[in-house]
Homo-oligomer: A and B are copies of this chain.
Amino acid sequence: MGLVVQKFGGTSVADPDRMRRVARHVADTRAGGDGVVVVVSAMGKATDNLLGLARQVSANPSGRELDMLLTTGERISSALLCMALLDLGCDAVSFTGSQVGIITDTSHTKAKILEIKGDRVREAIAQGKVAVVAGFQGVSTAKEVTTLGRGGSDTTAVALAAALRADSCEIYTDVTGVFSADPRMVPRARKLPWLSFDEMLEMAGAGSKVLALRSVEFARNHGVPIHVRSSFTWEPGTWVSGDEGRRAMEEPIISGVVHDVGESKMTLLGVPDRPGVSALLFESLAHANVNVDMIVQNTSVDGTTDISFTLPAGDVAVAQPILERVGAEVGAKGVDTDAQIAKLSLVGAGMKTSPGVAARMFRVLADHGVNIEMISTSTIRISVVVERSMLDTAIVALHAAFGLDADSDYSAPLPERT
């Protein structure tokens, strides 16, 4: 008998009808003979609604109490899904993160998993029951209820799959897999049958929203194969694993084009070119929990330079006074902020052994009149920042130039991911 962990996101369990559909799929899997552990997110907008309540009650809600509040969302989903499974004659039992023994550190609202005991889940599986686990949550070493932060339910699923030595972790979402580009922007985008962990990591880091970065890191570190698929169609999706042998000979150099419009660019202008200035700036930003992404420093001209970086658009308000303070301290000429940017990345393990990918990318963009504002590279990724208005042109051109276009336009319905 195999063991599979199935994770269903908020859209998949958004209402009683969908909940029953998910139950039918889980019951079918179980009837097929495999042991099944299910991880569920909160229903639809439940978490947002709870957050809204918290903000109405308190201007600055306590992290501990936020965790007590928000974890109820997943708990409601898990209990309802169990009821639906029992109605189908599929024996099932729900567990909170605490009951599963998902032990975390004490960082409320963004806790890290330290250990999964899982005794009660193992016991349920041994009794032939489906174990339905409330995602996104754990219990700290101080016995407090904690949440795992963004993408927490994906992380719960992967961590459980690792702890239980499951054969795979299926992540059900509202898209049918990972695509070579966003099908809403590139009609000829293809669904990728397989990706390596490293490629998926780069894609998540470059702005792909299909899998949370943390859960992919966890999967890679523990060798858990992930199957990303849709809960609306159940067709085979995209496998993400460490099994390099899976890569077909004819696999293209580039797996996909990923974009991100959630970042802004900030620049400290006319900074004296002397040691310690960058350190001071980025230490100050790190101290304020600002997540800096790409960093570019111009060559020094007449003893001064510009330091540019990208950051989540929502962090600009926090970063602005820091840049002004550091700027005044080091004698900079000013601060510039640009929200009208887009980050565009090529990701593909093939580029490790194919020289000239970057050059070709820059040539394609130049031929289409797209100006490059910043560049950053890794072994299997090249990212550029371009003007927001040029994003559509750039992404379609790159997708075609790197041989990613499918024979026909992608036309399956694609609900909004929430």
Contacts and interface: CB of A to CB of B under 8 A. Distances in A.
Interface of A: 16, 19-20, 50, 53-54, 56-62, 64-66, 68-69, 72, 75-76, 78-80, 82-84, 86-87, 93-94, 96, 99, 143, 145
A309 B82 CA distance: 39
A107 B189 CA distance: 55
A72 B96 CA distance: 11
Nearest to A83: B58
B83 A20 contact: no
A143 B75 CA distance: 16
Contacts of A79: 54, 65-66, 68-69
Q: Could you say how many copies of this chain the assembly holds?
A: 2
B65 A53 contact: no
B56 A16 contact: yes
B68 A94 contact: yes
A77 to B, nearest CB: 10
B94 A53 contact: no
B87 A65 contact: no
A54 to B, nearest CB: 6
Contacts of A65: 79-80, 82-83, 86, 94
Contacts of A16: 53, 56-57
Contact of A57 (B19, B72, B145): B19
Most B-side CB within 10 Å, residue of A58, A78, A84, A99: A58
Contacts of A19: 57
Given A53-B16, A53-B80, A64-B93, A58 B72 contact: no
